[in-house]
């Protein structure tokens, strides 16, 4: 009796797949079936869409309606199909011109009153649609700012189903055009000028920013660990357009974007509480696969305060994404790969009692030793910089009235150093020293610089693992880049080794 079509996008992790929504009206008692492996939210779409269609002033066909989401082979989740299902049904009933409905990608949830509501994950959906050759998309007005970030397709917003149907009938002016340029959120990263004292830690942070190295800070409460970590994003270069889109897409799936200024242009800062579960950290969840903290921190900073208090399994799960820059979340029914190239900053007290001065510590030596031992060797092995922060005493605070360097000045040095590193690795496509693999660093060093005798001795004495050796070389390269020396000096290697072993202070 009638066949209608519309187009939507299904999201799996941060990867979208274009889905053809078809509605068929056949004889029989009124009933609606949605086929194509939808979850509960998709199955309930029929009740939402039914009410929305009636309350928008249209007829709901009094026949057997079959809605198919094709390809049927993979699971589809969420309420974002509502709009496409409603339009496909109305097209099958003849209330929407069939040739008009099959064109644009439609993404949005329907309220019972026919209003179009925003959904999460619109940006990755539209990026996938554009990649699949789609040229037009219509989303909820609330999603418009985010949706307009997708290049290569014309995006417009719609307020309610009735407006959309009228638009398909050729009525102009019902859809909202996106603002010419999406306004970017003002940066809320705190400034390094606020940090008093801690010259070693400041330099360690600068090194970490310049080379993309992971960093551990050990020190008593009040030493400024959290303060310093929170300022790292301000030292990192702003995200490139491609990185910004990728990061925004991940945060879009997580549903944490600001609807007015969705584009994330500064490195994100993610600080999960130490009670975080494995799934919260790496991503996953039953049914809906959501990005974890490691992916939300993609191209940014993952800060683990009180890191020894995290569950050991959670900490060790960080090792694989630290090496590969992504996580593959596997479930029985589906799998999703999330990007996870983050910079890890660990903070820890030296012991559970966390006395301000070491001499006041009341912990038995065994407890003290075991406390930091909770950070497993393989994890710490991946941390290039370990810096001990002494307590800042009142004298230092009072005497240290000299203005401290602001983030903007440090960021300039970091940017210059990163430029040198990117030039060094131009043939490999790496952006910073930390991305280069161990053998590549060793080979480059072997070709251009004198043998690092100091490190060979440290390895022979068991102070350094083979991976640690490569990491010290990497750190020495970053120190060289920051100082703009061209070739690393013995002092650079020595300082890198000291920072790695936590002897800088």
- Residues of this chain that interact with another protein (CB under 8 A) are 27-30, 62
CB of 90 to another protein, least distance (A): 17
Q: Minimum distance between the CB of residue 56 and another protein, rounded to whole angstroms?
A: 16
Q: How far is the CB of 297 from another protein (least distance, A)?
A: 51
Three-state DSSP state, 77: coil
Give the nearer residue to another protein in terms of CB position, either 29 or 394: 29
Residue/partner pairs of 280-283 with CB below 8 Å, 24 or more apart: 281/314, 281/317, 281/318, 282/317, 282/318, 282/321, 282/327, 282/329, 282/340, 283/13, 283/327, 283/329, 283/336, 283/338
Q: How far apart are CA 289 and CA 157, in angstroms?
A: 27
From the CB of 29, what's the least distance to another protein, in Å? 5
Shortest Å, Cβ 168 to another protein = 25
Using alpha carbons, select from 144, 154, 152, 153 the residue that is nearest to residue 122: 144
Assigned token pair, 483: 């100082």
Least Cβ distance, residue 42 to another protein (angstroms): 22
From the list 388, 387, 500, 386, the residue with the least C-alpha distance to 454 is 500
Residue whose CB is less far from another protein, 59 or 331: 59
Smallest gap from Cβ 160 to another protein, in A, equals 22
CA-wise closest residue to 414 among 228, 186, 213? 213
Distance CA 350, CA 361 (A): 9
Closest approach, Cβ 59 to another protein, in A, equals: 10
Q: Which residue, 54 or 72, is less far from another protein as judged by CB? A: 54
Pairwise CA distance, residues 98 & 435, whole Å:
51
Tokens of 415: 């940017």
Residue 481, C-beta contacts closer than 8 angstroms, at least 6 positions apart: 210, 211, 417, 418, 420, 421, 424, 433
Helix (H) or strand (E) holding 7: strand 2-12
C-beta of 32 vs 295, nearer to another protein: 32
Q: Which is nearer to another protein, 30 or 222 (CB)?
A: 30
Considering beta carbons, is residue 26 or 453 the nearer one to another protein?
26
- Closest to another protein by CB, 59 vs 463, is 59
| Whole-angstrom distance, CA of residue 424 vs CA of residue 420 | 6
Count of all residues that appear for the chain in the document: 505
Task: Select 33 or 135, whichever has its Cβ closest to another protein.
Answer: 33
- For 287: left if phi > 0, alpha if psi spans -120 to 50, otherwise beta; the answer is left
If the CB atoms of residues 57 and 221 are measured against another protein, the closer one turns out to be 57
Strands 109-110 and 116-117: antiparallel
Task: List all residues 6 or more positions away from 244 whose beta carbon is below 8 Å from its beta carbon.
Answer: 263, 264, 265
The least CB distance from residue 62 to another protein, in Å, is 5
Query: HEC string of 88-145?
Result: HHHHHCCCCCHHHHCCCEEECEECCCCEEECCCCHHHHHHHHHHCCCCEEEEEHHHHH
Q: How far is the CB of 182 from another protein (least distance, A)?
A: 45
For another protein, the closer CB: 30 or 255 = 30
504 three-class SS: coil
CB of 313 to another protein, least distance (A): 48
Burial class (CB in 10 A: 0-12, 13-18, 19+), 161: buried
Helices (H), 333-436: 365-373, 377-381, 394-399, 407-424
DSSP state, residue 307: G
Residue among 63 and 290 whose Cβ is closer to another protein: 63
């Amino acid at each position: 009796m009638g066949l209608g079509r519309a187009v939507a996008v299904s999201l799996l992790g941060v990867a979208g797949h274009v889905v053809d929504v078809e509605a068929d009206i056949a004889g029989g008692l009124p009933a609606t079936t949605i086929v194509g492996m939808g979850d509960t939210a998709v199955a309930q779409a029929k009740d939402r869409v039914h009410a929305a269609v009636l309350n928008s002033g249209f007829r709901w066909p009094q026949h057997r309606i079959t809605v198919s989401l094709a390809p049927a082979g993979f699971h589809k989740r969420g309420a974002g199909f509502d709009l496409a299902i409603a339009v496909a049904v109305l097209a099958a009933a003849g209330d929407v011109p069939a040739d008009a409905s099959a064109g644009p990608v439609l993404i949005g949830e329907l309220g019972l009153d026919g209003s179009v509501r925003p959904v999460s994950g619109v940006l990755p959906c539209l990026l996938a649609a554009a990649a699949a050759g789609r040229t037009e998309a219509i989303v909820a007005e609330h999603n418009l700012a985010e949706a307009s970030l997708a290049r290569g397709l014309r995006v417009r917003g719609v307020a309610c189903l009735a407006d959309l149907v009228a638009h398909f009938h050729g009525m102009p002016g019902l859809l909202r055009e996106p603002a010419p340029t999406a306004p970017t959120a003002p940066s809320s990263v705190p400034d390094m000028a606020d940090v008093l004292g801690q010259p070693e830690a400041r330099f360690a942070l600068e090194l970490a920013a310049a080379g993309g190295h992971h960093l551990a800070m050990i020190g008593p409460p009040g030493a400024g660990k959290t303060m310093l970590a929170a300022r790292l994003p301000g030292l990192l270069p702003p995200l490139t357009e491609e990185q910004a889109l990728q990061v925004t897409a991940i945060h879009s799936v997580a549903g944490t974007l600001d609807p007015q200024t969705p584009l994330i242009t500064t490195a994100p800062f993610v600080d999960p509480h130490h009670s975080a579960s494995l799934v919260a950290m790496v991503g996953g969840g039953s049914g809906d696969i959501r990005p974890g903290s490691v992916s939300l921190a993609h191209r940014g900073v993952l800060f683990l305060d009180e890191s020894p208090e995290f569950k050991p399994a959670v900490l060790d799960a960080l090792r694989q994404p630290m090496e590969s820059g992504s996580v593959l979340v596997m479930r029985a029914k589906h799998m999703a790969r999330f990007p996870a190239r983050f910079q890890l900053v660990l903070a820890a007290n030296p012991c559970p009692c966390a006395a301000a001065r070491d001499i006041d510590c009341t912990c038995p030596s065994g407890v003290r030793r075991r406390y930091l031992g909770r950070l497993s060797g393989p994890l710490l092995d991946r941390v290039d910089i370990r810096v001990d922060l002494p307590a800042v005493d009142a004298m230092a605070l009072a005497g240290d009235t000299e203005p401290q360097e602001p983030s903007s000045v440090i960021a300039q040095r970091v940017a210059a150093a990163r430029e040198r590193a990117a030039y060094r690795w131009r043939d490999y496509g790496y952006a910073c020293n930390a991305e280069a693999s161990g053998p590549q660093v060793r080979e480059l060093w072997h070709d251009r610089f004198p043998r690092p005798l100091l490190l060979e001795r440290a390895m022979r004495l068991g102070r350094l693992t083979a991976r640690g050796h490569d990491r010290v070389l990497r750190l020495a390269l970053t120190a060289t880049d920051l100082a703009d020396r061209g070739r690393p000096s013995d002092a650079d290697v020595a300082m890198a080794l000291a920072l790695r072993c936590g002897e800088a202070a």
